[in-house]
Structure 1
Amino acid sequence: MAIKPTGDIAAQRLSSEQLSCEFSDIAPLLDASAAAVAASRCHYCYDAPCVNACPTQIDIPGFIRKISHGNVKGAAVDILSANPLGGMCARVCPTEILCEGACVRNHQDAKPVAIGALQRHATDWAMARGEALFKRAPETGRHVAVVGAGPAGLACAHRLALAGHSVTIYDAHEKAGGLNEYGIAAYKTVDDFAQREVDWLCSVGGIEIKHGVALGRDIDLDTLRKQHDAVFLAIGLTGVRALAMEGEELSGVMNAVDFIEEIRSASDFGTVPVGRRVVVIGGGNTAVDAAVQSRKLGATSVAMVYRRGVESMSATCVEREFAQTNGVTLITHATPVRLIGEGGVITGVEFERTLSAGDQERFVMEADMVLKAIGQTLVPVGLERELLTLDGNRIAVDANGQTSLAGVWAGGDCAATGGIDLTVQAVQDGKLAAAAIDAQFARTAVKAA
């Protein structure tokens, strides 16, 4: 849904030069010397806690040791064999609560090894050179349908293709990548990296992507099951929770995910309209990305308002601090109760806040743009009811991603895998499902013989 300029919502609030600076890479690539210094801090722990903290179980001490010895290609192989989207994960993973959060260096000098930056150093080196790091196994004659070209779908497809199976990915968007392409702040993944990573991943061969194809609209699950040897569902969470309150239909009120997608799809950031006074409702990474990008587009004031305390926010402390250092005001313990408008246009939001003594007060924040970031939900179009969990919010799966339907697996945000809703977890879901599908094919082949 495109943003409609109205009231105080306008495009080109900043010059092209300012926008270029605002949306430059927030974590520039390490050069060889800096990478060597960063790698020298690693203790190469046996049974390293950083590995256990990584959902994809990358051999972190192993790849860092290779970097320290100048073997960057070997480091990239270590990373990408465990996580084929390791380049993007190096950019967007909350390393502070995963690998770096578990680093033993935290207990010595309160500064972990820069694992994320080192991972990016190796993967970017390989991507820049178009290195063919893996060789595909001979064709098996098996054909798998993957629905969704996000992290889970791409990871599953890559693993299956390496095993010699043919994969067709069906995706509703014009570009592959899912949230990596459409749902992450532009300053985290510059220079069209998401597409370059997709190109590298598909270069192994055996993977075809069909764009503009949506489950339940252009294809149905029953047909996919008949035409393929297995199906992997990686459809994500495409629904957005509503505030369900007065004024939600006002012009200037929109979903934060749509706002972020508008920015990521723009060829020129100057064409993206933004409010002068923006209020973002929510406390997760989507809220942070929407709030910070509003400021970077030239909003005069941006407030991120959350109904609980910071300890309950799904956005990490690093993300919160980044938002605040970029001019976003953080307001906690405030719940929206009414969206206020005039002439069909948003003018403010009324909140109710709980005070320390337990009393409550109401206050109004002026706003000409309100971005909703209170969570996403599964849109079960094209799915049989028996596939879903009891509450209908996810697809029910076992530990390997197998659903209740024979030959159908699922993973990523759409599936109830018990993991965390992160890119790296989606990759792991795709890997596990691919391994289970491959094992199922092997068993079938043995029986046929």
Structure 2
Amino acid sequence: MRPADWSAAGFASDPLPGDPAALRNGGTEYVSIADSINTTARRLRSLGIDGQQSEAVFALADSAGTVADDIAKAEARYRETGHALIDYAAALDAAQSESLDALHTAQNAREAADEAAHAQHRYLSLSYGEADPSTALRYTMLSQDAGADAAMAQSRVADARARIHEAQTARDRAAEAARDRIENTTAHDGLKDSWWDNWGKDALSVVTDVAGWVASVAGVLALVVSWIPVVGQVLAAALLLVAGIAAVVNAIGNVVLASTGERGWTEAIISIAGAALSVIGLGAAARVVGSAASAARINALARIQSGWAGEALTVRQALRIRPSAMREAEQLWRAPVAGPSNGDDAFRLWGGGSGSGGGSWSGADPTRLAYPRESLGLPDVNTMENLSIGTITDASQVQHVRHALPLDGMPGGGPEWVFRGGDPLDPAIGRVVDSTIPFSVP
């Protein structure tokens, strides 16, 4: 059983799912079928006529040879498919093993980075409060060493993530090789039905494409007429019924064509998804309504935040935000924001048009957020190249304790502590920057 939590390496889920054992068993079964076919064909060809010299006996022997030739074609298809699956299973197994080892490395490195960061903060705090210059210098040097250890640990996390990406690439290459082997075998083994080659696939392609066009047009018209008073909903329902039936026909056609190698499985999967949306109803309208509801909830909460100055999230902006990013933002909006205390860690992302001395800080570690720009409501001018990690020295200097407000199309929601701006090394402004490290989106 593979781990469910891959967050230490920066993945929301298992980056290399799959069951190599099931693939290997399936490939072995295919090879076994090929062996049975080969045995049957050999026995058919070896049928003797026992000295009988009649036309019926000769016809039987001839028919047996013809059947043997026909089923021998299937033997190559099953054998090559089986070996392709077995080879891919081995490649997937190796890629999964590599990714699992990389995950363990990332977990250990992440723990080491956290420990080093805490040590760095502790030594810095000790140095600020130490009256003896030599002891203060020793604490400062220990803090620098801990910071270097944290940077090295973060580098090991990045290396582990790169290893997983390389394993994904190896898995994809193996999958493509297996697919090409199977397609090359099925394309040249002479097993395709003549009626399918002559006109069947072309006819189904036309029906499939026309059904897809009808589904698209009917779906758009349903959206348009749904706003007509009184009769709009009735017309929309009728058009959605047509769109649903046509989408299902389109999906079935694409699946059949993909199964015979005439079209790709990507197109078939997309058409299945389109059919599901058409059957359900106004999928696009549902998203608009959902985005409008999310924007309304966020704006209502933003208006009651300390220091609110009219910031808001429009429906158009909400539609551009990934659903997963919106979910993270709304979860943060629902969570209460606690005020800071002296000694607490504070974090600030900055870069580009946003400098290190700004007053907006957060109690949430941005490296733990999947969508830091969206959840922290960062402006477009902030390139997020740097992450400053500081310590609260005077919590009374905090002007606003609130959720991050919507800004430049970002929903916000993360905890925000607003100090007055100034020199980040000046303890009189309420916090001291302990370290600044490069930052990249997880």
TM-score (norm 1): 0.24
> Quick check: which one's helix share is greater?
2
Structure-2-length-normalised TM-score:
0.24
Task: Return the structure number with greater relative CO, CA threshold 8 A, min gap 6.
Answer: 1
